[in-house]
Structure 1
Amino acid sequence: MKFIHLADAHLDSPFRGLSFLPYKTYEEIKSAAEKSFQRICDLALAQEVDLVLIAGDTFDSNKPSPKSQLFFAEQVKRLTDAEIEVVMIFGNHDYMDLNSLFVNASPYFHLLGNGQKVEKISLKTKQGFEYNVVGFSYQNNHITENMVSKFPVKDSNYTIGLMHAGVKTTEAYQNVYAPFEVAELRNLDYDYFALGHIHARQVLSQKPLIVYPGNIQGRHINELSDKGCYLAIVDEERKETKISFEKTAPILWKKLELTLTEQLSKAELQNWLISELNKANKELTFFYVVINKAQFLSEAQIELITDSDFWNNLSQNLAFSSQVIDLRLKSNLQIKLGAKEQKAFSEAKLESTNKEAFLKLAQDLIKKDQYLAKLCQREDFQQETVERALVILAQSMKGIDDETNEN
């Protein structure tokens, strides 16, 4: 038996903060998740799998666009026409009713657990291998109860658990996605647990296999590495499963950390960045660049390289249509001050970089601009602003450090 396990396609997902990119590139980005999903279906057909498991959040919302619904229905039809079983559940993003899903009725398509009820379905491969799939769909965007206790006891069939859920944590506010403990899943003794919800690919257990495949296409700089699905091959006699990751995402997000060792002219700086980017550029990649020891930069250079027009200029020198989509600066300059002054400096730095102090400093700007008010609430924006301020501070205080070194 062969099956594919995927999750978190997030069709219709917006790619925020990339409007500065050329129109053609931006349109390619918007269609990236669809391309990845289509490649997964291509893989299923090429491998002649018996089953495709979809572990929730196929759509980014519970009211997907007609375009994404029609696309999904078309891809499902490709699979069911080939007599491949498709078993899916809804997650916390795409909680819907079965009747809202635009998929043609087929004996090979199954939505499990409509109405948030744990449901078991028994199926059989063309060669006669019998197996079960057990799962549930979300009815609302949160499930606070542990659903594992509702899963039935395993029978003699190969059994797959299908669940969109998160591992229970010590933080109560995080336990709103059908929280579970890994030991509970092991105790069920199912042969494979196909999970969704966590966008980072990870295997929580080898025996039995408890697997997050991650999302099928990274959407921002925090969703790095290759994205795709898992292909599973089952030894039907031993009921043992081997999995292999299959990359399908057309776009890779990559963090590139660079370190300055000396002051450079603007032209030297640009050429250095292009050279380093090209060394790391092996396929269509969205680069998130971090420059360490940014105290070597002048204020004019800081203004230049943190401008999106400069990022576009760098991108024009890269193969595969790769793009620089973010560039951030870090300084590790240690200012040599007396003990008293160093303590005061550290306290002032700590006070000015916490969230409350940040919002207080920005309150006049927040009152004038609604968009900026929303932006200032985002932790990534706060962090980037503080980092840039510290770079400028370190650059301006470098003279103090130089004078201290001379004495």
Structure 2
Amino acid sequence: KKSIICQILKMRIVGILFIAVVNGLQIPSRVVNVGVIGAGRIGVVHVEALANCQNAKCVIISNPTVSKAESVARMYNVPEWTADADEVINHPDVEAVWICSPSSFHAEQLVKCAAAGKHIFCEKPIATDLPETISAINVCADANVKLMTALQRRFDPNFARVKKAIVDNEIGDIITMKLCSRDPAPPPFEYVKGGGGIFKDMAVHDLDMSRHLMGSEPVEILASGTCHIDKKIMKLQGPEAYDTANIIVRYAGGKEAIIDVCRQAPYGYDQRAEVLGTKAMIQTDNMYPNTARIFAADYTGNADLPYDFFMSRYKEAYKQETVAFVDALVNDMPSPCTGEDGLIALIMAIAAGKSAQENRWVQFSEVADSVKCDEEGCMIVDLGVEPNLETENWMQRAVSNLRGSSSTKKKGIFSR
């Protein structure tokens, strides 16, 4: 009887697996146990994305206000919660850590994760300045752990389709591109103060996207910044005093990307792209909660405004970037968006701020060459009156500070 029952159970299991395959359901090869640091709004987004990822399971979440961690944990069936981020990092069952804490904590927590042998998914920025960013990436290389910089727009289906059109030569050679990024409302003053300014905090996504779409490397940048919305921030220093900015990024071969960013658009969250090629042009439009349109004597158009918040607009992108990194962990593949990608985006943002402050074109080599590293760490150095302005290899020089960087191997990470 026992053997008959076992055979019946085996047949049922085989039948269930067969039905799953027929219906297109994937049986996870293995599940990555994840810990999440931060139960704020971005932490919640990532916990939800993990809950919908077949190959991942969030097993613990932390937040200084432990009640917030508990609330998120109960909502998404996370078994453990804590007020101490170190408990997440050192949890024996955790293989990878999602760092979703405030930016000022990223580098310290990243270093602790690497020391504990945990793979790392880090919300941008990796760190708040270049030396700390390079040092943090080096720690990950030394520990042989994977690091992903969360530049989620690369995984948005709209931008991904634009990238596909470029790669598949649907539009021919790129002539020029335009990117637009406008928030529905300005952030609180306290957020802007100490947030790094509009280029580091906001335009960094567009700068990275221009590089991602262009498929070649940037050479120099011209940026301007103004304040039209929140007059209180005019008293702040540097790029923090801007709520509106315009940017031109010049790439190898003379191609340019034009970017405009603004902290407020009364009609909703404005995220558009346009790439003109020799054969065609491709555009992305804003995303709406529905496709309903009104046709009236005095108005024709969408019934509702576009999505009014980044979390709703990029919900699918957050899900896809989670799936991409988990797949890299499961299959032992390179990170889909590396620490070096985050470093280059930061260099571009710093150069944009420098350009706006000094009212001139700034070559990225000026920023890249300002960091020197040795065995004791990295620091900003005075380049003097004649910095190395060789533009062709500035990124190779920038990442030469990175130990274990693939830029020292074969063609390097910057080959497309």
Indicate the structure whose relative CO is greater, using CA pairs within 8 Å and at least 6 residues apart. Answer: 2
Larger Rg: 1
TM-score by length of 2: 0.25
TM-score by length of 1: 0.25
